[in-house]
Amino acid sequence: MDPELEAFIPFLPQVDLTDPVTARKSFAELAAARPAPDTAGLEIEERTVPADSDVAVRIYRPHQAQGAIVWLHGGGTVFGDLDTEHPWAARIADGSGAVVISVGYRLAPENRFPAALDDAYAVLTWTAEHAAELGVDPARIAVGGHSAGAGLAAAVALRARDQQGPPIRFQLLNEPGLDDRQQTWSQRNFTDTPWHDRGKITAAWRHYLGSQPATPYAAPARATDLSGLPPAYIATAEFDPVRDEAIDYALRLLQAGVSVELHQWPGTFHGSQAILSAEVSQRQIAELAAALRRALAE
């Protein structure tokens, strides 16, 4: 474990996914206590995307942005919202120069799969249709997210490919949760890792899926054909149950002819970049923004 991160482990709050309402409240309180990001260089706007169930979005627009990313927050599809994601969305917009469209998708277990995916896909479609209004090139639209949000982003890319939906330039997948089967080495062995462990992941999938079987749009690792998907940047944390499914997905994308940058961060755990004082966290956040900047600038 990175020593700067390890020093914080005793102080990490516990989130109990067996009680979604309490988990949301605890996470919101934790997020509110974090330092506010510098938004001086950003124009921030609240919008509602019309869909079968209207979707709230928060748009972060840097000056002279050329591309955009539909950004999906983490939280196991159970907790997290536009406010808790505000620091991360702002940092990505500021660091990448891209318009970040942060999505307030519906949460489980009240809204199980495919509600969150439907919301994310609706925002992708809306972004492509309103590119001129947003001031972005419709050929430079990416999808991305953290944790469960990164899994949703991967699913959006699969669905857009299969349904001939809006073209996606790039996938930015930070510590993605992709596989409900939990059979990888890291899933079987990381049962007591900080912040995120096997039991919490099991609970999150149960909330998201209920009794229905997982499809590739719910768990992208189940997709048998990964050809024709957008290039990807995939970041993993060393001490993270979802590490190996993300690495496996990256390798399978490569074998399907998809360009991938895979970055495995030594000494880190799932979500540890929230510890902003750690040097490795600063590098992680900077790399996410830089990868997006490169992908949308080419």
How far is CA 214 from each of CA 112, 206, 254, rounded to the nearest angstrom?
12, 10, 24
Using the 8-state DSSP alphabet, how is residue 215 labeled? Answer: -
Amino acid at 41: G
H helix count then E strand count, the chain: 10, 8
Distance between first and last Cα of the chain: 36
Q: Which residues are catalytic?
A: 147, 240, 270
The tokens 């590119």 sit on which residue?
Answer: 131
Pair of tokens at residue 216: 């590739």
Interatomic CA distance for residues 177 and 96, integer angstroms:
23
